[in-house]
Amino acid sequence: MNIDLSGKRALVTGAASGIGAAIAEAYAAAGAHVAVQARTRDKATPTVERIESSGGRALPVAADLSDSQAVREMCDKAIAGLGGIDIVMSNAGIYDPLKFLDLSEDDWEETLTVNLKTPALIAKLTLPVMIEQGLGGRQLFTSSISAKMAEEDGSAYCASKAGLHAMMRCMALESGMHGITVNAICPGWVDTPMARKTWESMQQDGQTIDDVYDEVRSQNMLGGMIEPVDIASMAVFLASDQARYITAQAINVCAGMCSTL
- What pLDDT, in 10s, does the model give residues 104-140? 999 999 999 999 999 999 999 999 999 999 999 999 9
Cα distance between residue 40 and residue 101, in whole Å: 34
For residues 223 and 52, the model is more confident at 52
Active site positions, annotated: 143, 157, 161
Instruction: Work out the pLDDT band at 205, boundaries 50, 70, 90.
Output: low
Residue 230 pLDDT more than 90? yes
pTM of the model: 0.92
Instruction: Work out the pLDDT band at 93, boundaries 50, 70, 90.
Output: very high
- pLDDT at residue 157 in the model: 94
Q: How far is CA 36 from CA 33, 85, 140, 148, in A?
A: 10, 13, 15, 29
- pLDDT at residue 150 in the model: 85
Residue 197 pLDDT more than 90? no
Q: What's the half-sphere exposure (Cβ side, CA atoms, 13 Å) at 60?
A: 17
Instruction: List strand residue ranges (DSSP E) for the chain, in order.
Output: 9-12, 33-38, 57-62, 87-90, 137-142, 180-187, 250-253
Q: Which CATH number fits domain 9-190+226-259: 3.40.190.10, 3.40.50.2300, 1.10.10.10, 3.40.50.720?
A: 3.40.50.720
pLDDT, mean of residues 226-244: 96
- pLDDT at residue 59 in the model: 97
pLDDT, mean of residues 207-236: 80
Residue 260 pLDDT more than 60? no
- pLDDT at residue 202 in the model: 64
- pLDDT at residue 206 in the model: 63
pLDDT, mean of residues 162-176: 98
- pLDDT at residue 127 in the model: 98
Residue 231 pLDDT more than 80? yes
Average pLDDT over all residues of the chain: 92
Cα distance between residue 88 and residue 100, in whole Å: 32
pLDDT, mean of residues 143-167: 92
The arrangement of strands across the sheet holding 137-142 comes to 57-62, 33-38, 9-12, 87-90, 137-142, 180-187, 250-253
